Structure 1
Amino acid sequence: MGAQASSLEGVHVVVVGGGFGGIAAAQQLKSRGLDFTLIDMRDAFHHNVASLRASVQPGFAVRTFIPYAETFGESFVQGRVERVDTENQRVVLRGGREIQYSHLILCTGTDGPFPGKFNKEASYQSAVQAYEGLVEQVQMADSVLVVGGGSTGVEMAAEIKTEYPHKKVVLIHSKAGLADVELQPSVRRQAKEVLLEKGVELVLGQKLSGLSELQFNMTRRNMEVSTDRGLTLTTDLLLCCTGCRVNSSAYASAFADSMADNGALKVNAHLQVAGFSNVYAVGDCADVNEPKMAYHAGLHAAVAVSNIDNSVRGKDLTDYHTGNVTMLLAMGRDDGVGQFNGWQLPRFLVTLGKSRDLLLWKSWREMNQTQP
């Protein structure tokens, strides 16, 4: 199935999911000369670190999708994995196509609401258009209510207020503290300070009522919504930045006994899925106690591919070790907060390191393509 002959007879690695972990694994398999197939439901990698800016800045979305085939050729297959047949070592795609594997790397990531996530069968063109359509909705709205004050919600509110400083932007969050709980308290406080400096209004310690019945991503003038504490808010546009969950649909039936309560796959120190020496979990779907980040997915991929190579060559396997939390929040293109190896960073460094380009250069370089 791969685009090149394998240096090791009988080895064919199937990588399920073409997110950050998936493309890192595929590139390392390619560089080692190992035969592989990368499977994803889209035909282009989504650099979703930049998805929020693609929601507010016209013409930006095209930079956030990078075609797989130009990088991986015939080693890429577009399709949705319906199930894994561990007995016969094959994955089964919607429509019935089967792909054999000697080793399997599961990189299915997390799923969640658009625009933070875009996990659907789609072409490059339709994916870009989905974001351009949301840009139009944001532009039409005089006021925007961002639901959820984790890291995604914080960045979303900052992006809107930076691009459209005269719009009213309100962020509602069920807890008193903003951003990821893995961040240092001082960094979380700083994120709040930046939002307030930009003019974002905060409603903390309250939840919206009837969330499932609300219409998101569609501008409608003067919508009224209520919180669980009786506060009424009026807005033109609702954006949901909550509810991310592990995307386990591709493997749930085959690995039910190896799954944690949240759907992630239990792994050992080598990132092998519990009970399977030839199956690895990488990125958000691996049950590893650390923040779910693109950076960590890349580290996982390096360990998984190294261990596949080592296992077939009879060498010792490598362990994965979590480190101190490194996390950067882009607060619009002109500001940012974060920490590196547990140390709080100055805002200007985060702005230079992440906020201006959202690390797009890194993904285009990894995919060996030129950014438009």
Structure 2
Amino acid sequence: MGAQVSSPEGVHVVVVGGGFGGIAAAQKLKAEGLDFTLIDMRDAFHHNVAALRASVQPGFAQRTFIPYAETFGDSFLQGRVDRVDTDGQMVVLQGGKEVRYSHLILSTGTDGPFPGKFNTAASFQSAVQAYEDFVQQVQAADSVLVVGGGSTGVEMAAEIKTEYPDKKVVLIHSRIALADPGLVSSVRRQAKEVLLEKGVELLLGHKLLNLAELQLNVTRRNTAVTTDKGETLTTDLIISCTGLRVNSAGYASSFSGSMADDGALRVDEHLLVEGFSNVFAVGDCADVREPKMAYHAGLHAAVAVTNIVNSLSGKELTEYRTGNVTMLLAMGRDDGVGQFNGLRLPRCVVALGKSRDLLLWKSWREMQQKQP
């Protein structure tokens, strides 16, 4: 890291969203000596890489939430962003509170169904309890239907079958290939092999009808569901792992001219939002053509903060360049598949590198707190 700069008068960076990109940006701002405020609607960072383990293993959830205030002190503000006043350079929270910014980093992430995502205004205690309650639903079910065979669905099915090998687990997916399209085909095939080895039943090329009308995350014995191919099956518990969407609610009214069709913010090579010289987008809400991953969010954050520092000192801005995809899928605590820079890794390497601890150690270290 370069020489630390003292925060010049009038410089105040606001980071909206305390996910992986947000905390990485906040830590780098803190290290650079820049005045900042990190805003999130929760009081604790959610290491949602481990959310699915917290969904099946009692007592695990408390390790996946890390209080913001203990790390960032008065530089953390809990609240939900209502809009951004770009003319006045103010972030406006629900309730009317305004936070002035000289530079803005938007890191609002994506939203999706619980338990994979937990984008709810909640305290640490209530968030942990939500996962503990979900574990009880999983334990009460003899059969579970996981809807969606992207990376989250694949990991969810594997977690349940690993923790509860006697339960019937069915994974339904509208496509034939599983997991993220950014993975090389051999890794996607390997994910399928691991699921079959664990005893997960696969229903590929089928789409569940009336998903929006079904009761999710609650055990109701022998619930009948039908697919678009006319297949009918019964299950006790339905878990949705589909429908991720960009969290654009806090900025949509102010940046409508800079938004892609999916709500992400169009950015240049410096991660500056299109049409702005002091607003950056990092992580899932940045319209960058690469898989939406915690790892990428951290890389974005480093570029954004470096460019704020460079702009203050008159230096040339840094460019963000996408590389070959590195992605690891935890297939339960004892197995995994993945690739590093586009090359497939041995399953044992992924299991050791990610699956056992789900990289929790990294977030606790970054937040400079001790894991319970």
TM over 0.5: yes
Secondary structure of the residue aligned to 1:66 is: strand
Residue in 1 aligned with 2:255? 255
Structure 2 spans left out of the alignment, 5+ residues: none
Paired with 1:11 and 1:310, the residues of 2 have a C-alpha distance of 13
Question: Which position in structure 1 is the counterpart of 2:266?
Answer: 266
Aligned residue in 1 for 2:25: 25
Distance in 1 (alpha carbons) for counterparts of 2:161 and 2:111: 26
Amino acid at match of 1:322: T
Give the equivalent residue in structure 2 for 1:145. 145
Runs of at least 4 residues off by over 3 Å = none
SS in 2 for 1:333: coil
Q: Which residue matches 1:167?
A: 167
Aligned to 1:83: 83
1:332 aligns to what? 332
In structure 2, what is the equivalent of residue 215 of structure 1? 215
Alignment of 1:281-300 (within 5 A): 281-300=281-300
Aligned CA RMSD, in angstroms, stands at 0.7
Contact 2:22–2:301 (Cα < 8 Å) also in 1: yes
Distance 2:12 2:48 in 1: 28
Structure 2: how far apart are the matches of 1:227 and 1:326? 34
How many Å separate the matches in 2 of 1:174 and 1:343? 27
Question: Which whole-Å deviations, capped at 9, do the CAs of 1:326-358 have from their partners, x for residues lacking one?
Answer: 000000000000000011000000000000000
Where 2:361 maps in the other structure, the secondary structure is helix
One-letter code of the match for 1:64? T
- Give the distance between the partners of 1:181 and 1:60, measured in 2 at CA: 30
In the alignment, the residues of structure 1 paired with residue 82 and residue 313 of structure 2 have an alpha-carbon distance, to the nearest angstrom, of 31
How far residue 9 of structure 1 moved from its aligned partner, in angstroms, is 1.5
Whole-angstrom distance in 1 between the partners of 2:249 and 2:312: 29
Q: Deviations over 1:98-155 (max 9, x none)?
A: 0000000000000000000000100000000000000000000000000000000000
Amino acid at match of 2:238: L
Q: CA–CA distance in 2 between the matches of 1:59 and 1:119?
A: 20
The answer as to 2:235 corresponding to 1:205 is no
Q: What are structure 1's unaligned runs of at least 5 residues? A: none
Structure 1 residue matching 2:175: 3-state secondary structure:
coil
Find the residue that maps to 2:49 and give its secondary structure.
Answer: helix
CA distance in 2, matches of 1:196, 1:292: 26
Question: Which digits, 9 at most, give the CA deviation of each residue in 1:185-225, with x for residues without a partner?
Answer: 00000000000000000000001101110000000111000
Mapped partners of 1:81, 1:141: distance in 2: 38
Alignment-mate amino acid for residue 44 of structure 1: A
Which amino acid is the alignment partner of residue 22 of structure 1? G
Report what 2:9 is aligned to. 9
Cα–Cα, structure 1 residues 121 and 6, in superposed 2: closer, same or farther, change >3 Å?
A: farther
Alignment-derived partner of residue 178 in structure 1:
178
Matched residue, 1:234: 234
**SS of aligned partner of 1:337:** strand
Amino acid paired to 1:198: K
Distance of 1:290 and 1:207 partners within structure 2:
26
Letter in 2 for 1:82: D
TM-score computed with the length of structure 2 as normaliser: 0.98
1:324 Cα offset (Å): 0.3
SS of 1:27 mapped into structure 2:
helix
Alignment deviations for residues 270-289 of structure 1 (CA, whole Å, 9 cap, x no partner):
00000000000000000000
Q: Which residue in the other structure is 2:307 paired with?
A: 307
Q: CA deviation at 1:6?
A: 5.2
In 2: Cα distance, 1:120 partner to 1:196 partner? 34
Q: Answer yes or no: is 1:45 the counterpart of 2:74.
A: no
Partner amino acid for 1:19? G
Residue by residue, what CA displacement relative to the aligned partner does 1:173-194 show, whole Å, maximum 9, x if unpaired? 0000000011000000000000
Q: Which amino acid aligns with 1:232?
A: T
TM-score calculated relative to the size of structure 1: 0.98
Give, in whole Å, the separation in 1 of the partners of 2:12 and 2:131.
36
Q: What do the CA deviations read for 1:234-283 (whole angstroms, capped 9, x no partner)?
A: 00000000000111001000000000001000000000000000000000
Q: Distance in 1 between matches of 2:120 and 2:278?
A: 28
Counterpart-to-counterpart distance in 2, 1:233 and 1:311: 59
Helix, strand or coil for the counterpart of 2:209? coil
SS at match of 1:317: coil
1:154 counterpart = 2:154: yes
CA distance in 2, matches of 1:300, 1:270: 9
Cα distance between partner residues in 2 of 1:319 and 1:182:
22
Code of the residue aligned with 1:112 in structure 2: it is G
Distance 1:370 1:234 in 2: 44
- Amino acid paired to 1:218: V
* Cross-structure match for 1:97: 97
For 1:233 and 1:312, the matched residues in 2 are separated by: 61
Deviation at 1:7?
A: 2.5
Instruction: Report the alpha carbon displacement of residue 312 of structure 1 after superposing the two structures with TM.
Output: 1.0
Q: How far apart, CA to CA, are the structure 1 residues paired with 2:6 and 2:104?
A: 16
Counterpart residue number, 2:35? 35
Query: Matched residues in 1 for 2:53 and 2:216: separation?
Result: 17
